[in-house]
Amino acid sequence: MKINVDSNSEGGYVAISILLILTAVVLGIIVTVAQLGIGEGQVSLALSKGEDTLTFAEGCVEDAMLKARADPNFGPVGSEVTIVHEGLSCKIKVISKNVSPPFTWNMKVQTDTTVTKYNRIIEVFFDRPPTGIILTSWKEVTTF
């Protein structure tokens, strides 16, 4: 029995064509996923979501408490102090403070609404003894 092998066989061309098509599809998927990841990071940086704004406001509260811990003269009562972090800002208003024992503080923090459409205001009460910070109340409120 003889098998004729045609020298004009196109089997190799089909295999190469399939390989090229699969490579193009895989590259398309990789580029799409990479672009979605970049876009997601930009949304997070712009703080366009309410959850991100609350997280930023909470970070501002922590910064303000650390500043109050380091300097008992931080933020005169009734005045507003602005903290800027990575191009975003928040306002801190010290409502009341006692600079002698028991060192109680009440302050409010508000996010900058020029960057984000969400306004978050957090009111915090804490004690500032010589050895740390004792948090007594932390809540989101509606007025600054």
Instruction: Tell me the whole-structure pTM to 2 decimals.
Output: 0.59
* Residue 73 banded pLDDT, cuts 50, 70, 90: confident
Helix boundaries (H) for the chain: 11-46, 50-70
Other C-beta atoms lying within 10 Å of the C-beta of residue 30? 10
pLDDT tens digits for range 29-72? 887 777 776 544 444 444 445 567 778 888 888 988 888 888 88
Domain range list for the chain: 7-46, 50-141
The number of C-alpha atoms within 13 Å of 56 and in the hemisphere containing its C-beta is 28
